[in-house]
Structure 1
């Protein structure tokens, strides 16, 4: 009976997988934006785009400071979707810092307008104007106190508010008693700084739930090895997990409300002050964990062992509780392409039914160049069709029980 079931699974599921393909959908987007680019001192080129919805153009006008005046006549282009206007304004020797720029006429509409201001000194201001918030105040250039208020204090406070990370660090000290304080400090603070740097450059996008859920999962993992004899190896694994969780947590710092208009040099200074805050917050967090462990050292070993078991159970329970959110709100799960689902299932079939084993380095040899191409902004043309074709070929080999050569694999 089991052989018949496996036979039909081998014959039927590959056919179903062949039917899996990408769905192409097209969304109609009505882009609207106001872009100012400083081309000469005090002279800005204005690019204003309004949507055409059901044949009607939104009656809205750009509003600039009173000391700004038109420098050239607007050039207008209208099609079935957009109304584009280009002209220049002159603001003289006045600075735009502290002034308001906005849109008049958005009330009663549901259109959001993207605002972007580029200056000659490299500052880029961005915001989204809506009927409820139709004006944007250009911030002043940052001073020393701004770096401390925006970078150091929030970064230190951010670390102390990561309760999932606090549970992981405390459990690490409880299990391994007296780990290297300085190495752990460098690992966690360095991970936080690296995550913030990657997120600031938009090289790493982490969902908001990851900063709490993953440290709790890591705490549950290292608690499983609390009473295993390979103490040193488990400690290294725990330290690695703390560094990874630090990267994921740091990527969520200042995700919203980050001030705009910083030059590249000012962004670097802000990163340095944020790293100082990460270091201070991590030092306080690790110090609390170390002192808690030292207090428990004064208790009998049986009490310490029981406390570790209870705290590990608490971490596991908190992890399962956080995981329950995905059952309640399935939209929180990351969108995984169907091609990836089918590829994983095909690899499972290949493992069970093929006599030609696929080396692990083959998978990594494909993933690493793929990530490099993705970070570089390059794309392989017709990649979905190529992937479907290769998956179909593998399924045919599985279906007919043929074994291709290792070179073909």
Structure 2
């Protein structure tokens, strides 16, 4: 077991080393700013900007240490809204530590000035200077002894200030003891350290409520099993997940000192030492209390009452903490439904004897899928492939009760890889801190697997539990398929048909024919021999694949299609499709592909104007470092076409809305641009393209993201 844990730690560390999160730039802009950046030892570049208010510049000036002298005269630049001064200074006589830097001339104003000091050793100071506090004294670097005492004390204090940690540890020590179960405490310590380090590098960000909820539920589960003397089957996975969440919570402790990267690493090591000290002290306290009760020969007598007491307390507190979700439903974690179904599938295919292997395999391969996504590789059709695995596995479980070894291996390995890739893409597109949120989702999935798996200890593989869950998986999976196709596939088919193409799903047709041929037949000789007919596992699997492969089709020209013969409803679909393709083309990073996509939907004479105008309107008002991408284009209304002299051109009064996601470093929000105007569609080579756009109104709205 120790070797397995070591291997797991090495693999996770290796994955973290290869993890290369996307580079984001800060977008927060202060109207007044004083920035000193050390370019070489003792030499600073000074950047000083002041706001222009009502045509007047704030009369304020920086106050630098007396030992600093100007190397160049200030260069003045700026705009109608700000005045910028840049110059170089030298402070070679003494270090800048212990010196005051500030602003004079702020009296009588309400302006706050951001002071930023960037040093060569990696320290960066950020302070806001105001009329009440116009100076900042640069502190001296901490010594090694200060790092040791501060880090270890903060680590122990942070751990011991978690009230639910005591209940969780008490249930472990009272009901598991120490002899023969040291692996649980080692796993708890390592998972806390891993959660803390993942949080330190912003590779995992979990909400604050998740540790109380998970720890209370597991304390209840331990107490429940202790009252029935079934602790020998307690899963180690139930320790790992809450430990990771606890370590992530401990990472939220603020550090008052400004540290270099090397000092920050040393502080983290000392903080982990403090965590170990706190865990040791709390563990010794509860272990001695347990020994006292054993010494008086009353422990065995009160074991059941204690388990009922701790279990009741844990369940009550769990219900109290979980009430957050029905009081504030938006606090529920937003996880793609296909991933939740996969977590549930892993819980039932992981037998009691290999649940640990299933959970750790999921953690490793899903992390690999996340690493691929964060390095720019999104697995094509990941959601469809994962749905196929879930549905086919559910059919096999429902009809046979267990998965063959090859199918089991494929489901765990490939499904986990796809799950991590999907979670990474989902978090990257919808949440801030995408890497951290994704890892938090993976840990949450690990917790669900361990919780659900623990309820099926010693159950037969073909029990009623598996049949109920398999049926539920199959039902919810089909609902996801219907939802996926209704939102994307059928609209795409309609658009292709209205563009003069006939979509033919060749693969699906072949699979349906194969399903019919392979369907088990109860022939007369079989009935005479009283042989049971085979269950149609293969045929149903082929049908599922045929449904999921409907999007893979070939398009042939429709010889009967005439673009001019479409009615008003058909032209509405054409207008929506052309507008959607035009705007979503701007999500392409490759300019050549962007123009190629635009040329399919916009007349050549209008192409340059549409490119420049749409790019400007999508990016107007955005700060530096913001990333914008079009999410949805909705056609609100399409009026009757005006009469045109050219029978191949129809001009429509149109109202449409473009929803774009704007992602900054610390948050994500959405912008809805609503437009009203006239759009002319022209039939070119039997295809409709935009030939003219006249805007009469434009309205912008900023909408906060539902989950941050």
State TM-score, norm by structure 2: 0.44
Aligned to 1:368: 420
Q: After TM superposition, give the deviation of residue 322 of structure 1 in Å.
A: 3.3
1:289 is aligned to 2:286: yes
1:275 is aligned to 2:272: yes
User: SS at the partner of 1:198?
Assistant: helix
Q: After TM superposition, give the deviation of residue 151 of structure 1 in Å.
A: 0.6
1:333 corresponds to which of 331, 334, 337: 331
Q: After TM superposition, give the deviation of residue 335 of structure 1 in Å.
A: 8.2
Aligned equivalents of 2:313 and 2:245: distance in 1? 19
Aligned equivalents of 1:54 and 1:221: distance in 2? 66
Q: After TM superposition, give the deviation of residue 75 of structure 1 in Å.
A: 2.2
Q: After TM superposition, give the deviation of residue 78 of structure 1 in Å.
A: 2.0
Aligned equivalents of 2:298 and 2:178: distance in 1? 15
Aligned equivalents of 2:332 and 2:114: distance in 1? 26
Aligned equivalents of 1:346 and 1:236: distance in 2? 22
Aligned to 2:47: 47
Q: After TM superposition, give the deviation of residue 324 of structure 1 in Å.
A: 4.2
- Aligned 1:179-218 pairs, distance under 5 A: 180=180, 182-218=182-218
Aligned to 2:99: 99
Aligned equivalents of 2:107 and 2:181: distance in 1? 57
Aligned to 1:386: none
Aligned to 1:322: 321
Bigger mean CA deviation after superposition, 283-292 or 294-303: 294-303
8 A Cα contact 1:172 1:238, kept in partner: no
- Aligned 1:157-306 pairs, distance under 5 A: 157-178=157-178, 180=180, 182-227=182-227, 230-252=230-252, 254=253, 256-260=254-258, 262-297=259-294, 298-299=297-298, 301-306=300-305
Aligned equivalents of 2:60 and 2:216: distance in 1? 50
8 A Cα contact 1:30 1:81, kept in partner: no
Change beyond 3 A, Cα 1:195–1:92: same
User: SS at the partner of 1:225?
Assistant: helix
* 1:229-263 residue CA offsets vs partner (Å, 9 max, x unmatched): 652332524432443343233323x3x23411x22
1:87 is aligned to 2:179: no
Higher relative contact order (CA 8 A, sep 6+): 1
Aligned to 1:393: 485
Change beyond 3 A, Cα 1:345–1:207: closer
* 1:257-312 residue CA offsets vs partner (Å, 9 max, x unmatched): 3411x222222222222222111111111112222333343315342211221122
Bigger mean CA deviation after superposition, 278-287 or 191-200: 191-200
Q: After TM superposition, give the deviation of residue 44 of structure 1 in Å.
A: 0.3
Change beyond 3 A, Cα 1:221–1:357: same
Aligned equivalents of 1:164 and 1:173: distance in 2? 14
Aligned to 1:357: 391
Aligned to 1:147: 147
8 A Cα contact 1:41 1:93, kept in partner: no
Aligned equivalents of 1:356 and 1:161: distance in 2? 42
8 A Cα contact 2:325 2:332, kept in partner: no
Aligned equivalents of 2:104 and 2:91: distance in 1? 19
Aligned equivalents of 2:196 and 2:178: distance in 1? 29
Q: Say which one has the larger Rg.
A: 2
Structure 1: runs of 5 or more not aligned = 1-26, 378-389
Change beyond 3 A, Cα 1:300–1:42: closer
8 A Cα contact 1:204 1:251, kept in partner: no
- Give the root-mean-square deviation of aligned CA atoms: 4.2
8 A Cα contact 2:222 2:231, kept in partner: no
Aligned equivalents of 2:237 and 2:316: distance in 1? 21
Count of residue pairs the alignment pairs up: 360
Aligned equivalents of 1:29 and 1:358: distance in 2? 52
